[in-house]
Amino acid sequence: MRYEPIDPTLFVQNRSRLRELLKPNSLVIVQSNDILPTNADGSLPLHQNRDLFYLSGIDQEETILLLFPDASSDAEKEILFVRETNEEIAVWEGAKLDKKQASEVSDIKRVEWTQSFERLLMTLAPQAEHIYLATNEHLRAMKIVETRNDRFIKDCQTRFPLHRYERLAPLMNELRVVKDDIEVDILQKACRITEAGFRRVLGFVKPGVGEWEIEAEYLHEFVRRRSRGFAYSPIIGSGKNACVLHYLDNDQICQDGDLLLMDVAAEYANWNADMTRTIPVNGRFTQRQRAVYDAVLRVMRQANLLLRPGILPVDYQHQVRQLMEKELVDLGLLDAAEAKAQDRERLPLVSQYFMHGTSHHLGLDVHDVAPAQVPVREGMVFTIEPGIYIPEENLGIRLENDVVIGRENNIDLMASIPLEPEEIEDLMNV
């Protein structure tokens, strides 16, 4: 793998924590993701099933993890199945993990070839009472493509119709929502790579450069630092494009006097950073741009003080909207009397200029999994990303950092990435 080896202690601990949540006499089966096709004989790079990776650290196709904590034999409590390689595969695709290497990555003692899975399943499944299977239950998931786990669920339920089937997703969501120190260290690495890209871009942006050229500068810096690239499709929007929340074309020329909104970050070892910065194309904020920027920055800092253990996400978002409402009134975008008299049960007026959520969980997924509407807890990792979008002024500003919820204070993983407008101007005018 391109990234440095991960301490297998993380995966051992993750499996141990999962076992504590299982019902007695349970079998857990998690399949890797498929390598997806494009057109003709093309294919996309593997994006590993995050639950499988979280429990094993294996970043390879045709992998299966089987956990049976109450098995009568110690050799059947944890079994990892990996794809058997051969000389032809090595020539065309490169080296794959052998059993010893897979065991070292995962710290699972028993490793078998994937073709052995069916035989062992037929032996072990009749001994189990419950079978936990993996599904994608993210609230925003688009379930268009049938996954390897989806296919296995159908097959397993056909072969063993009288077992008690359980949902693995709620347990994994509960485990993954609080980050281990090893995970936080990897996230910090992704943030540092992201910072390097941003600092590179600050010296590159000027009137006349293309949004796509800026994207290329980020990618160059990310890959040279052993990232596999972008954590998500980058948003590089100048002028009016900054007001399009999911702008992905990145095909326009940056004009003198415009702002440039960049929602772009690096992935490292499957964990993801998530950063947004907004900078002046010519290196200097106008008075109006600076006023809006300062308003967003104030809300960002106040939101960080609100996002503390015990608060519910819905209450947090409501309080941030109240902060933003005051800023929008001060900027002359909302009328104070109308804001005070509005029906709070309807879509708030603030949504005209700030229409998205302020924070989301971050980790192995950019919008990481989490139990619905659970209070914020120590060890969770969130983004904080308020924004103000004024299409009639071709002006959009969003700022975003990643924070670990701490006991006394939040830990900003992006604290060293330039954010103050004066610092940004200084770095752009060296």
Q: In the prediction, which pLDDT does 140 show?
A: 87
Is residue 333 within 8 A of residue 397, CB to CB? The reply is: no
Distance (Å) of CA 311 to CA 62, 303, 419: 41, 12, 26
Chain centre distance of CA 161: 36
Fold topology of 9-175: Creatine Amidinohydrolase; Chain A, domain 1 (3.40.350)
Six-digit token pair at 4?
A: 């440095």
Give the DSSP letter of residue 357: -
In this prediction the pTM is 0.96
List the catalytic residue out of 20, 41, 88, 408. 41
Q: In the prediction, which pLDDT does 54 show?
A: 98
Q: In the prediction, which pLDDT does 346 show?
A: 82
Judge whether 246 counts as a catalytic residue.
yes
Domain ranges of the chain: 9-175, 181-428
Judge whether 360 counts as a catalytic residue.
yes
Residues whose CB falls within 8 Å of the CB of residue 85, separated by 6 or more in sequence, listed in order: 95, 96, 98
Q: What is the pLDDT of residues 163-205, one digit of tens each?
A: 999 999 999 999 999 999 999 999 999 999 999 999 999 999 9
Is residue 350 within 8 A of residue 296, CB to CB? The reply is: no
List the catalytic residue out of 353, 360, 365, 368. 360
Is residue 5 within 8 A of residue 57, CB to CB? The reply is: no
Judge whether 249 counts as a catalytic residue.
no
3-state secondary structure of 109: coil
Which segments of the chain have a pLDDT < 70? none
Residue 328 CB coordination number (10 Å): 25
Q: Amino acid letter at 76?
A: E
Q: In the prediction, which pLDDT does 1 show?
A: 77
List the catalytic residue out of 200, 225, 356, 378. 356
Q: In the prediction, which pLDDT does 87 show?
A: 87
Question: Whose CA is closest to 254, among 305, 315, 309, 213?
Answer: 213
Q: In the prediction, which pLDDT does 205 show?
A: 98
Q: In the prediction, which pLDDT does 344 show?
A: 76
- CATH code for the part of the protein at 181-428: 3.90.230.10
Tell me whether strands 164-167 and 130-133 are parallel, antiparallel or unpaired. Answer: parallel
Q: In the prediction, which pLDDT does 414 show?
A: 98
Q: In the prediction, which pLDDT does 143 show?
A: 84
Judge whether 138 counts as a catalytic residue.
no
Q: What is the pLDDT of residues 42-76, one digit of tens each?
A: 999 999 999 999 999 999 999 999 999 999 999 99
Judge whether 7 counts as a catalytic residue.
no
Q: Amino acid letter at 39?
A: N
Judge whether 78 counts as a catalytic residue.
no
List the catalytic residue out of 221, 274, 368, 402. 274
Six-digit token pair at 288?
A: 């109006």
Judge whether 251 counts as a catalytic residue.
no
Q: Amino acid letter at 388?
A: I
